[in-house]
A = this chain, B = another copy of it.
C-alpha cells in the first residue's frame, strides 16, 4: 500500500534493535484518515470472505479493527491481556503470547460468549514481527471452533519469521506494508 509505505518512510524512525517506531501516525498518535484508508484496503483484500467478526488484541490494533468492523458491519472483538479481571467469571478462551518489544509473556483471552463456532473471523493487528500475537489470536479462533478468514496486519517485518510461519500453516496473511530490510543507515526497504 503505497500511501502507507510513503508515511513510514517520511515519519517512521528506526530505533536500535530494528524497532520501527511509527508513533507519529500509527500507534500512539493515529492519523484517522490514514487509518480509514488502511481499513478500506483490508476490506478490499478480504472481499467475498463472508466475515462475521473482526478479532484484534489490545491496544494498538483496536483503531484499525473498529474501522474494518464498521465497514463490514460486523462486531469487533478484542482480546484482553490479563483476562479475567472485571469479567464476572465468564468463561474464556486463552492463549500465551510473548512480547518481544515489551518483554515477558501475556495471557490473552476472549469471552466464550462472543467468539462462536459459526463465526468467520478476520484477525487484524498493527504489527507483525515474530507473529506471536497473531498466533495467539488464531489459537483463540481454533479453540472456539470458528473459521479463520485470514490475518490482516498493517506492517509486517518480513525479515522476521512471524508472517511466513503463519503462511506455512495455510493461513492467509495480508500485510499492507512489508519491510524486507532495515539498512545499517536506518533506510527501510519494502517488498
Contact = CB atoms under 8 A, between A and B. Distances in A.
Contacts of A23: 87, 90, 111, 113-114
Interface string A5-43: 000000001010001010111001111110110000000
Contacts of A30: 66, 69, 75-78
A80 interface: yes
A20 to B, nearest CB: 11
Number of copies: 2
A21 B63 contact: no
Interface residues of A, number: 42
Most interface-central of A15, A29, A36, A80 (chain B CB within 10 A): A29
A17 to B, nearest CB: 10
Most interface-central of A21, A66, A80 (chain B CB within 10 A): A66
Contacts of A21: 86, 88
Given A76-B29, A86-B101, A110-B28, A70 B15 contact: no
Interface string A62-87: 11001101100111111010000111
Nearest to A78: B28
A178 to B, nearest CB: 21
Contact of A86 (B31, B90, B102): B102
Contacts of A33: 70, 73
A84 B70 CA distance: 32
A141 to B, nearest CB: 15
A88 B24 contact: no
A35 B110 CA distance: 20
A58 interface: yes
Given A70-B67, A86-B102, A88-B15, A111 B28 contact: yes
